[in-house]
Amino acid sequence: MNESIKAKIQKLLTLAKDATDEESQTAMLHARKLMLKHNIQESELISDSVNNKTVVNERIYRNKLIWWHRRLAQIIASHFRCSYYKNTVDSYQSEIRFVGLEDDVQIASMIYNFARASIHYHSKVFLLRPEIKRKWKRKHQFKNDYIEGYLAGLNRKFHEQNNSESLELAIIQDALVIQYYNSLSLTSNNIPSPKKAGDDAAWQKGYHDGQKFERGREMIE
């Protein structure tokens, strides 16, 4: 049974590398579910020799960070066996970095960058709604309400996925990852709170859109 599962995962990972963006995302997520559920590392798919785990510290995104860039990183990292932190580059730019086993960081990075593009796209569409355009002076506050809702919906979706597939224990970080992350001796990772309008309708719309993540890839430029 284990060899059969490994063969299936290997086919999914091959598809993820060769397929279109939408197919790649679907294949990678399916592979990740099986790898977590059966505690299989990618290195096991290549060889039956001793598994040498590799902890990596990779830059996922670099730019002027907005509050939700970090909140999203926090959510994705927690569901994909990684840790995240912000690294300041200069007065204009900072980095989002993920720490985890090499296979986990690869998958988390892909999901983070697609989710980031998805939030950017859907929040722009939300601002075009007539009831929001009439309140243009406070549009950024309504946008923050929407994004907070989206993040809550996305987080809820991952929790439901893990519960339905009994992955609660499988998403626990490897001890080597925890040891490495603690060795970085990072300062506080607090995320600043955005200025919001406190609009429940905007939050609910974001929550609904966040829960639809993965159902189909939009054509995002």
Lowest mean per-residue pLDDT among 12-26, 104-118, 127-141: 12-26
Sheet strand arrangement including 55-63? 55-63, 94-101, 83-88
| Domain count across the chain | 2
111 and 159 in a common domain: yes
The model's confidence at residue 30, banded by pLDDT at 50, 70 and 90, is confident
**Domain annotation covers residue 83:** yes
150 and 133 in a common domain: yes
- Residue 208: predicted pLDDT: 95
**Domain annotation covers residue 218:** no
61 and 46 in a common domain: no
The model's confidence at residue 115, banded by pLDDT at 50, 70 and 90, is very high
* Other CB atoms within 10 Å distance of the CB of residue 72: 26
The number of C-alpha atoms within 13 Å of 138 and in the hemisphere containing its C-beta is: 14
**Long-range contacts of 23-29, Cβ-Cβ distance < 8 Å, separation of 24 or more:** 24/110, 25/110, 25/111, 25/114, 25/214, 25/217, 26/214, 28/107, 28/110, 28/111, 29/107, 29/111, 29/214
- Residue 100: predicted pLDDT: 94
Which domain, by its residues, includes 29? 1-52
**Domain annotation covers residue 20:** yes
Mean pLDDT of 209-218: 69
35 and 60 in a common domain: no
Is pLDDT larger for residue 173 or for residue 20? 173
pLDDT digits (tens, 9 = 90+) for 163-207: 776 665 567 788 889 999 999 988 877 788 889 989 999 999 999
**Domain annotation covers residue 184:** yes
**Domain annotation covers residue 220:** no
**Tokens standing for 97?**
């970095």
Mean pLDDT of 51-59: 83
Note the pTM of the prediction, 2 decimals: 0.73
**Domain annotation covers residue 217:** no
**Domain annotation covers residue 219:** no
- The average confidence (pLDDT) of the chain is 82
- Contacts for 65 with CB less than 8 Å, ≥ 6 apart: 86, 94, 96
**Domain annotation covers residue 187:** yes
46 and 63 in a common domain: no
190 and 204 in a common domain: yes
- Domain C-terminal end among 36, 52, 68: 52
pLDDT digits (tens, 9 = 90+) for 68-113: 999 999 999 999 899 999 998 998 899 999 999 988 898 899 899 9
State yes or no: pLDDT of 12 exceeds 80: no
- Residue 17: predicted pLDDT: 63
**Tokens standing for 16?**
């993820």
Is pLDDT larger for residue 218 or for residue 139? 139
103 and 175 in a common domain: yes
Residue 171 and residue 79 in contact, taking contact as beta carbons nearer than 8 Å: yes
89 and 188 in a common domain: yes
111 and 45 in a common domain: no
105 and 3 in a common domain: no
Residue written as tokens 């066996």?
Answer: 81
177 and 83 in a common domain: yes
- Residue 138: predicted pLDDT: 83
186 and 110 in a common domain: yes
Is pLDDT larger for residue 40 or for residue 205? 205
Residue length of the chain: 221
